[in-house]
Amino acid sequence: MTVKMIIDTDPGIDDAMAIAYAAADPNIEVIGLTTVFGNVYVEQGTRNALHLVEMLDLNCPVAEGAAKPLEIPLDPPSHQVHGAEGFGGLPAPTPSGKAISESAAEFLCRTCSENPGEVVICAIGPLTNLAHALRLDPHIAHTAGKVVIMGGSAEVGGNITQFAEANIFHDPHAAAEVFAADWPVVMVGLDVTHDIICTSQDFDKLKAYAPKTGGFIKAISSFYLDFYASVGLTEGCHLHDPAAVIAAAYPHHFQTRDMPLSVILDGERRGETQPAPGASTPLVSVCTGVDDDGVKARFMAAYRALS
Ligand code: RIB
Ligand code: CA
């Protein structure tokens, strides 16, 4: 069955990899992109999302979302990881399209309400838009089919700090609201994304399989690989955001454990996600294991199927 998916994103290099993967997978119908600050400023993210829609022939709307977190000041964008414009060393793209007039939260609420139970929201940036959507229309907790997030970590510590994963770190209050809402949430965190590694040779293959899309991914990946190498990870880069899209459509590649989660809101552990046994908040389905070869093979195969 085809999965109807809205991707909430801060594109971003691995975001672009995830969106291109989703566009290539015949079992996924991308029905919209919503943008959020994070890897880049939200205006840059919206522009990059519009470029991806045009390059990938996605034919779906882009709705711009939050420019800043719910309660804390905006962190500087992660230009050292994703490049000054979000696509590594490439210059700013110049898409011809425009974002729709609805905000990301409005688009999420309306689309889920018009397709009750059918839409998977795959959130691969800070969770601010999802929190705004819950505030705008709490009923979205019942109309959204499933929420799959790339973010957090249950047992392996953080990446942006020793304790926190970047997407949760950038807006811990939003993450806490998303985890507290009564909707089905799957957390694809560092516990599994650190096991899925793509090498420079893999990106060469993507370019050979699909010169346009794979070539673009190859071009942006070199900056990302350089960042990983600069922090001692010379083997390759993690497929964080593609893992969440794949988990949304192919959950059998992942082992999960249901647990309540708490989020540290401030201090040096800001953004840390912690299992909270006995807490009264809803259970989150936390990915604790992954068939990394299966996920990687699926990622590669999607590009191979492109013309
Ligand atoms: O921690 C990985 C996440 O942070 C990914 O979503 C990546 O795009 C960055 O934003
Ligand atoms: Ca992201």
Tokens at residue 8, please?
A: 């909430």
- Digit-coded pLDDT (tens) for 290-306: 999 999 999 999 998 88
User: pTM for the full model?
Assistant: 0.98
Strand 273-275 and strand 261-263: the pairing is antiparallel
- Digit-coded pLDDT (tens) for 138-188: 999 999 999 999 999 999 999 999 999 999 999 999 999 999 999 999 999
CATH of the domain at 134: 3.90.245.10
Q: Give the Cα separation of 260 and 247 in Å (integer).
A: 20
What total number of domains does the chain contain?
Answer: 1
Which of 194, 238, 240, 253 is catalytic? The answer is: 240
Q: Which residue has the tokens 């806490």?
A: 176
Q: Which-ligand-closest: CA of 166?
A: 1
Q: Give yes or no for residue 195 CB within 6 A of ligand 1.
A: no
Give, rounded to a whole angstrom, the gap between the first and last alpha carbons of the chain. 23
- Digit-coded pLDDT (tens) for 226-241: 999 999 999 999 999 9
CA 101 to ligand 2 centroid distance, Å = 23
Which structural domain range is residue 203 located in? 3-304
Helix, coil or strand: residue 103: coil
Query: Is position 240 annotated as part of the catalytic site?
Result: yes
The packing angle between helices 13-24 and 42-55, to 10°, is: 30
- Digit-coded pLDDT (tens) for 269-289: 999 999 999 899 999 999 999
Q: Give the Cα separation of 167 and 10 in Å (integer).
A: 10
Q: Which-ligand-closest: CA of 82?
A: 1
1 confidence band (pLDDT: 50, 70, 90): confident
What pLDDT is recorded for position 307?
58
Instruction: Give yes or no for residue 29 having a pLDDT over 80.
Output: yes
Tokens at residue 86, please?
A: 């979000």
Helix, coil or strand: residue 147: strand
Q: Give the H/E segment covering residue 275.
A: strand 273-275
Which of 8, 13, 14, 190 has most ligand 1 atoms within 8 Å of CB, for mutation?
14
Average predicted confidence (pLDDT) for the chain: 97
Q: Give the Cα separation of 213 and 210 in Å (integer).
A: 6
